[in-house]
């Protein structure tokens, strides 16, 4: 399976890392690595995330939870599209 990041997902990764880096550069690097490792794990286990029930296509749209972070992704045509990433404390409305 191929992994593709949306521009929003790339911005999310940068934003999260920059926010943490202000107070703890080592933690920022560690969290970024954890998120990227989890995303790469999707190549082997694409269904590991939970379906997003409120989505019209919940069988394709999934959330992967890593510590206090959510990775939202879409499974389609043997591809994994990383849509967004956020911390649990962020307002996602």
pLDDT digits (tens, 9 = 90+) for 34-85: 999 999 999 999 999 999 988 777 679 999 999 999 999 999 989 999 999 9
CB 81 within 8 A of CB 10: no
Of the candidate ranges 30-34, 52-56, 85-89, the one whose mean pLDDT is the lowest? 52-56
Which fold would CATH assign to domain 2-87?
YaeB-like fold (3.30.2310)
Query: Do 31 and 17 meet the contact criterion of CB atoms below 8 Å apart?
Result: yes
User: What is the predicted pLDDT for the residue at 3?
Assistant: 97
Regarding pTM above 0.75, the answer is yes
Per-residue pLDDT tens digits for 2-25: 999 999 999 999 999 998 999 999
**What pLDDT score was predicted for residue 7?**
98
Contacts of 87 (CB under 8 A, 6+ apart): 16, 68, 69
């Amino acid at each position: 399976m191929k992994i593709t990041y949306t521009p929003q997902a790339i911005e999310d990764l940068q934003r999260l890392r920059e926010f943490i880096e202000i107070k703890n550069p080592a933690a920022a690097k560690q969290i970024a690595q954890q998120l990227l490792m989890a995303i790469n794990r999707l190549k082997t286990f694409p269904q590991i995330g939970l379906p997003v029930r409120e989505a019209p296509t919940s069988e394709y749209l999934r959330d992967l939870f890593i510590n206090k972070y959510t990775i939202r992704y879409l499974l389609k045509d043997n591809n994994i599209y990383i849509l967004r990433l956020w911390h649990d404390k962020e307002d996602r409305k």
